[in-house]
Amino acid sequence: MRSYGVLLLWLLWLSGGFGTTVVAEPITETRSIRLDDQAGPSITANEAVYYLPASATLAFEQASAPGFNDRWQALGERTINLGQQSIGAWLRFEVHNPLAQPQERWLVIEPPTLDQVDVRVRHAATWGPVYSAGDALPFSVRPLPTRQLAYPITIAAGETATVYLRLRSLEFMVVPMRLETPAYYKAHEHKMQLLLSLFFGAMLAMLVYNACLYLFTRDRSYLWYVAYLFSVIGYELSLTGLGQRYLWPEFSGFSVRAYMLFVCLSFLFAAQFVRTFLRLTAYPGWMLWANNLILIYWALAAGVTLLEPELLRFLFPVSLAFLSSVLGFATTVTLWRKGSSSAKYLTLAWSVLTVSTLLLILALEGFVPHSPLLLNSQVIGFTLEFVLLSIALVERINQERIGRIQAQREALLASERLAAEREAHLQAQQEALEQQRQANEELERRVQERTQSLIKTNEELAAANAELVHINAVDPLCGVHNRRHFETYFTEEINRAKRSGTPVALLIIEIDLFKEINEAFGHPLGDKCIQALASLLSEYTKRAGDLTARLEGATFIMVLPGAVAAEAHALAERICYETSDMRIEYGSATVSFSASIGVVSWTPERGDDSFGFLQAASKALRLAQQEGRNRACLGER
């Protein structure tokens, strides 16, 4: 109950608020998506338009007819959020292939919670086939065997094609989309599968362990903890698409209900866990009444989801999710203030999950840049939440053990005072103490096992987080830092230089005629040239604070804190000389290349920022290229 404030936030994000409708704006000029990015961009509301049909039987040919052009509307949001549409909705966007050969991309929609999405591409003179996927369809009909909704799209050389999407869903239509090459998708999905395997492995380990504890102790807190954990696992299986991919691929009737069913069960079992674990029956008043109402409502909502999911919206689940979360949080905070240490852990667990979900929502809404860590923050939050709940259960075992030990001491003192008169009774008491000692040893053993399990889980999470941080900061081709890391670092370095009054040098290095090298010898040789230049630049940035990063393509950037203009220019000339002196072995041929460098250096003052440095260095780079390349030019402020 208290920790499923995260599900409330997720539902609020899906709905865009309590029943928010789509904000329509007139179409001014939509941008075509260029397919020159190997990774593939995310498709934002600025690149897509939508149409809300009056009939659910509208065909693709009708939607693309000239008479419908004035019915398409622009979206005035960061993300593609169409709200709840009973008839359905349409989306379209344009894709341009500027290259001289056909390109294949996969259109990926994640999370895959929509009932049905039909995709069709309109080329210059023909239509492509219709691809369909969604929760309401068997997995076997999907065009690609992926856990997300994924559709293959091939664009001919120099072609601009229009992609149409027809959407149907009982839930709110939030459509995060991205275009990716098959190779990029598979590499990214491999990393995601590793993270999800760690998550589900940790969750299943906690589920099995606490189920065993329930069998041994018969404490119903463990039973409801296991039921709650099982519901969250089902929720994540449905949200990530792994459930339909591996567990219920052909059961579309269950698949279309699974997401909301597990949401309802998670609220229901979370409320029952709080009731049992915090012993709410001992606190008559508003807390017990609120818990009773929450249990009744979510049991009813789960039943409606199973029997008639179309009627669930009339139960206002978003509003009741908000109310349940607020009441649950108020309950745990109230009991914490009354001295309940168990309520403290429950409040902390809810807070961790809420913060992690807020980070996920901010990333999905476009307020913060996407990264693997942020996009999986809710998964990490769930894991930490259940670790904290497990700690709460362990702590209560310890408290009960301490209470029993205290009772033993009192019983021992009483038996000593009556030893002379009641020797027979003392013997029986000693036997009882021996049994109690064995029970205590068993409890201590369980606590130790549980502690070791938690330590192992934390180590696995730390290793996964470290790997994600490394992936997020390093360019995979040449091993130097990537652009994202440079932008963060350079901003911090400028601020440091402002405080210390020291200069900062910035060099932009670009391989000359790199496009011609690729066309003449192929991309493998181009990659070797990029790697060789990256290795050379790394040799000159070994001081503390120096940085080499790959900006894009065959363009690199160097940051040299404390270097004045003359020093930076001399170093750039040396790099030009050593670059032109390098030789790349390619088959039976030996290939050389050169580089042009733009150099700037000054002491930043108030009002200076990274953009000013980059603009000046880029101007110097263009000057070096105009003067014949293979040289370094010093730019001015």
CB atoms within 10 A of CB 36: 10
Cα separation of 635 and 627, whole Å? 14
DSSP state of 481: B
Amino acid at position 102, single letter: P
pLDDT at 6: 40
Nearest to 532 by CA among 490, 476, 592: 592
Strand partners, 548: 558
Q: Return the closest-CA partner of residue 178 out of 35, 42, 37.
A: 42
The fold for domain 187-473 equals: Rhopdopsin 7-helix transmembrane proteins (1.20.1070)
CA–CA gap between residue 431 and residue 426 (Å, rounded) = 9
What's 127's DSSP letter? Answer: B
- CA quadruple 201, 202, 204, 205: dihedral, nearest 10: 110
Cβ neighbours for 331, distance < 8 A, ≥ 6 positions apart: 1, 2, 274, 278, 280, 287, 290, 291, 343
| Annotated domain spans of the chain | 31-180, 187-473, 483-634
Q: Which of 230, 331, 240, 263 is nearest to 10 (CA)?
A: 263
CA distance 101 to 37: 14
Q: CA 148, CA 110: separation in Å to the nearest integer?
A: 6
Let me know: does 155 contact 97? Beta carbons within 8 Å.
yes
Domain 483-634 has CATH 3.30.70.270: yes
User: Contact, 205 vs 231, CB < 8 A?
Assistant: no
> Span 31-180: which CATH code?
2.60.40.2380
Rounded Cα–Cα distance for residues 504 and 506 (Å):
7
Condensed to tens digits (0 to 9), the pLDDT of residues 367-421 reads 666 566 666 677 777 777 788 777 877 777 777 777 778 878 887 887 778 877 7
Cβ atoms 426, 418 nearer than 8 A: yes
Please give the Cα distance from 562 to 565 (Å, whole number): 10
Which residues 6+ apart lie within 8 Å of 483 measured at CB? 549, 550, 551, 552
Structure tokens at 129: 């086939």
Pairwise CA distance, residues 528 & 463, whole Å: 31
Helix, strand, or coil (residue 474): strand
- Residues with Cβ within 8 Å of 29's Cβ and at least 6 positions away in sequence, in order, are none
- Under DSSP, the state recorded for 290 is H
Q: Could you tell me if residue 73 is left (phi over 0), alpha (psi between -120 and 50 degrees) or otherwise beta?
A: beta
Lookup: tokens for 343: 């309520």
Task: Measure the CA–CA gap between 275 and 287, rounded to whole angstroms.
Answer: 9
Q: What is the pLDDT of residue 42?
A: 66
Q: Is 50 within 8 Å of 77 (Cβ atoms)?
A: no
Amino acid identity, residue 415? Answer: S
User: Is the distance from CB of 110 to CB of 144 less than 8 angstroms?
Assistant: no
Q: How far apart are CA 35 and CA 40, in angstroms?
A: 7
CA 162, 166, 168: angle at the middle one, nearest 5?
160
pLDDT score recorded for residue 262: 92
**What long-range pairs does 128-131 form, CB within 8 A, spacing at least 24?**
128/153, 130/60
**Following DSSP, what letter does each residue of 128-195 receive, concatenated?**
---EEESTTS-GGG-SS--SSEEEEEEE-TT-EEEEEEEEE-SS--B--EEEE-HHHHHHHHHHHHHH
C-alpha distance across the termini of the chain, in Å: 58
Which residue is associated with the tokens 């994202």? 484
Residues of the chain with pLDDT under 70: 1-30, 37-42, 44-45, 76-78, 360-361, 363-376, 464-471
CB neighbour class for 434 (10 Å; exposed up to 12, middle 13-18, buried from 19): exposed
How many whole angstroms separate alpha carbon 334 and alpha carbon 339? 9
Model pLDDT, residue 469? 67
Nearest to 383 by CA among 221, 259, 200, 230: 200
CA-based nearest residue to 58, from 49, 71, 45: 71
Helix (H) or strand (E) holding 12: helix 5-15
pLDDT at site 27: 57
| Element of type H or E holding 632 | strand 632-634
- Give the Å distances, CA to CA, from 241 to 77, 360, 375: 26, 17, 15
Q: How far is CA 11 from CA 82, 101, 230, 321, 379, in A?
A: 14, 43, 20, 8, 16
